[in-house]
Structure 1
Amino acid sequence: MVAHQRKNLGGGLDELRRRITDEGVDELFWYQVPKSKKAPKQVRRALKEKPDLLIVWGGDGMVQRTLDTIAGGKRGGKVPVGIIPAGTANMLASNLGVPDDMAGAVRIAFHGRRHALDLGVLNGEHFAVMAGIGFDGAMIQDADGKLKDRLGKLSYVYTGLRHIDDPAPKARITVDGTPWFSDDATCVLVGNVSMITGGITAFDDAKPDDGWLDVGVATARGAVQWARTMGRMAAGRSADSPFVHMTRARQIDVKLEEPLMYELDGGAREAVKRIRVEVAPAAVKVCVPRQRSDS
């Protein structure tokens, strides 16, 4: 068990410990961290115990750092991961059908299906939901920390409004070795799943186990164009927007004329002028709800 001690769900970590014990666990290794950046060290400690199951408690940032550590470790993605979604957005859990209630999430961790998931790899770091540079990265950067703790999901709306008039540098994007886009871009998103913060479907056909990553480029500028873009995403297919370009790829190279912030699964990273994103097929095993066809 690796837990973000500042996150909360239901009766908190005391309830979680009781529910894990009720599952008949004889040997429980328990690690807590004050922030998600501290998770990799504790995950590596946990993996040395050769666990049958690793449970992660926290939000998307905690899950991302856990999966990145597992995928890059000696055992690869062999250790199944159960997610207890105690964060702000919990985008991976939502896309996988893991509920935000304690009992349901614990039940899936112990009795769900162990399903192999792809991960994206951006500049050497794995992500499970999506990566974004430009508008998305700046929004996440501003929402991090105390603002997100105070406003929750609304922090993304608040900070997003502050960046709708940000500059749109020229972007050159190559997909699988072929030039694909060369124009001004306000945001570049690479997704492994379909739904993003707020329940909006950004990538209509994305699946986290198909060996592909979905790519979206937004060219919207100002409040009117962004409103039209977001409205189209909420009401129909994202690709139908005149301010969105979309494709699928296994490798994506993005070159910008000026450095911009980027984010991985809701966690802000430094400003860069170039990113490379690749798919890592079946990189980890995650506990998901059983389907009716499962025996």
Structure 2
Amino acid sequence: MEGCSFLRRYLPGRTTLLRAAVILNPVKVPEDFQSIVDVALTKHDFTNTLWLETAEDDPGISMAKRAIEETVDLVVVAGGDGTVRVVCAELAGTAIPIAVLPVGTGNLLARNLDISLDLEIALVEVLGGTERRIDSVQVEGDELGTDRFVVMAGLGLDAAIIADAPDELKKRVGWAAYIVSTLKNLNHPFVTVEITIDDRRPFTRRARTAVIGNVGTLQANIPLLPDARPDDDLIDLVVLAPRRLTHWPRLVLSLVAKSVQEGRHIERFTGRTIRLRTPTPVRRQLDGDEIPEGTTLTASVDPAALVVRVP
């Protein structure tokens, strides 16, 4: 579906000034955020900007819907990975471009789109850059309903690390708080996972964690899913299954050093639809947000559903 604003931006001889909506999490942005962004938008011919703050009981759903109703030419989203996920879910299929600003802890979508983690540099890059279509991922599961993600969804250890990273520590040290949580959870119990990829026969693995990704790079540029691309019409799955604590150092080293063979504790798969099922409820996450425990996650790629601004 091509929105009116998408067409208006490319009409020859257009005299209409551009309008942006800025959806921000007020807890995440710096004090001078609005003035910095307003100056940058003005330089790129945006006027009468719509400023929309998320709330504790609404991480961006109604704000994104308001932006769509106003037929803005651009949506700027500034918040954590959860805010970015919610806004991108609402904008999927609208053709309204999204500019992601890195003000959260993980900033995983920005990292994977090669957007600078410096706010002012990122503004220059996304406002002066180009548009790129990327995939969105539809996800379903028990206790979840239907939702979307743009980065990664996972269960087991992956979700435990996210849930157990203290908020206060994240405020002080940023993404390094996840390292503390990882060390705390290294002995997370195994999860028995039945995996179904597209129409292939299901198979079972005992794993510490299983992660489905639309993109592949974590904080510190760790390539958890090195072949994942946000615009390849596919999603990727990694299954991590170190048997003992002593297996973790080699596993981690194999993720960051291409010269080290990965070994039998890592498996990777690719498909258009990936279904994970466990015999008992386990911890789960979507784009860094913990969701209710459950037994299923089914992810299906929605090709080229999002338009994003990139350097």
Q: Name the structure 1 match of 2:280.
A: 258
What is the distance in 2 between the residues matched to 1:169 and 1:88? 27
2:155 matches 1:133: yes
Q: Name the structure 2 match of 1:17.
A: 38
SS in 2 for 1:240: coil
Q: Name the structure 2 match of 1:211.
A: 233
Q: Name the structure 2 match of 1:233.
A: 255
Q: Name the structure 2 match of 1:278.
A: 300
Residues 36, 61 of structure 1: 8 Å contact kept? no
2:118 matches 1:118: no
Deviation at 1:238, TM superposition (A): 9.0
What is the distance in 1 between the residues matched to 2:138 and 2:259? 26
Residues 194, 278 of structure 2: 8 Å contact kept? yes
Call closer, same or farther: CA 1:197–1:61 in 2, change over 3 Å: same
What is the distance in 2 between the residues matched to 1:262 and 1:239? 29
What is the distance in 2 between the residues matched to 1:238 and 1:166? 24
2:124 to 90, 94, 107: 107
Call closer, same or farther: CA 1:38–1:141 in 2, change over 3 Å: same
Call closer, same or farther: CA 1:284–1:214 in 2, change over 3 Å: same
Unaligned runs of 5+ in 2: 1-21, 141-145
Q: What root-mean-square deviation, in Å, do the aligned CA atoms of Structure 1 and Structure 2 show?
A: 1.9
SS in 1 for 2:201: strand
Call closer, same or farther: CA 1:134–1:237 in 2, change over 3 Å: farther
Deviation at 1:223, TM superposition (A): 2.4
1:62 to 70, 75, 83: 83
What is the distance in 2 between the residues matched to 1:238 and 1:211? 29
Call closer, same or farther: CA 1:173–1:239 in 2, change over 3 Å: farther
Deviation at 1:108, TM superposition (A): 2.9
Q: Name the structure 1 match of 2:290.
A: 268
> Aligned letter for 1:45?
R
2:184 matches 1:184: no
Call closer, same or farther: CA 1:146–1:132 in 2, change over 3 Å: same
SS in 1 for 2:250: helix
Deviation at 1:11, TM superposition (A): 4.0
Residue by residue, what CA displacement relative to the aligned partner does 1:110-131 show, whole Å, maximum 9, x if unpaired? 2211110001222121111111
Residues 189, 217 of structure 1: 8 Å contact kept? yes
2:43 matches 1:26: no
Q: Name the structure 1 match of 2:165.
A: 143
Equivalences for residues 164-175 of structure 1 within 5 A: 164-175=186-197
Equivalences for residues 32-43 of structure 1 within 5 A: 32-35=53-56, 37-43=58-64
Q: Name the structure 2 match of 1:89.
A: 106
Q: Name the structure 2 match of 1:47.
A: 68
What is the distance in 2 between the residues matched to 1:34 and 1:58? 11
Q: Name the structure 2 match of 1:2.
A: 23
Residue by residue, what CA displacement relative to the aligned partner does 1:82-106 show, whole Å, maximum 9, x if unpaired? 1111111211111111112233222
Deviation at 1:12, TM superposition (A): 2.4
Call closer, same or farther: CA 1:216–1:27 in 2, change over 3 Å: same
> Aligned letter for 2:242?
A
Call closer, same or farther: CA 1:283–1:226 in 2, change over 3 Å: same
Aligned residues: 285
- Scaled by the length of structure 2, the TM-score of the pair is 0.86
> Aligned letter for 1:62?
T
Equivalences for residues 154-173 of structure 1 within 5 A: 154-173=176-195
Q: Name the structure 1 match of 2:95.
A: 78
Deviation at 1:235, TM superposition (A): 0.7
- Structure 1 stretch displaced more, 143-152 or 191-200: 143-152
Q: Bigger radius of gyration, 1 or 2? A: 2
What is the distance in 1 between the residues matched to 2:58 and 2:47? 29
Call closer, same or farther: CA 1:64–1:167 in 2, change over 3 Å: same
1:200 to 222, 244, 247: 222
Q: Name the structure 1 match of 2:6.
A: none
- Structure 1 stretch displaced more, 155-164 or 237-246: 237-246
SS in 1 for 2:196: strand
Call closer, same or farther: CA 1:226–1:254 in 2, change over 3 Å: same
Identity of aligned residues (%): 28
Q: Name the structure 2 match of 1:292.
A: none
Deviation at 1:273, TM superposition (A): 0.8
- Scaled by the length of structure 1, the TM-score of the pair is 0.90
Residues 108, 288 of structure 1: 8 Å contact kept? yes
SS in 2 for 1:256: strand
What is the distance in 2 between the residues matched to 1:157 and 1:92? 19
What is the distance in 2 between the residues matched to 1:144 and 1:268? 13
Residues 239, 246 of structure 1: 8 Å contact kept? no
Residues 188, 215 of structure 1: 8 Å contact kept? yes
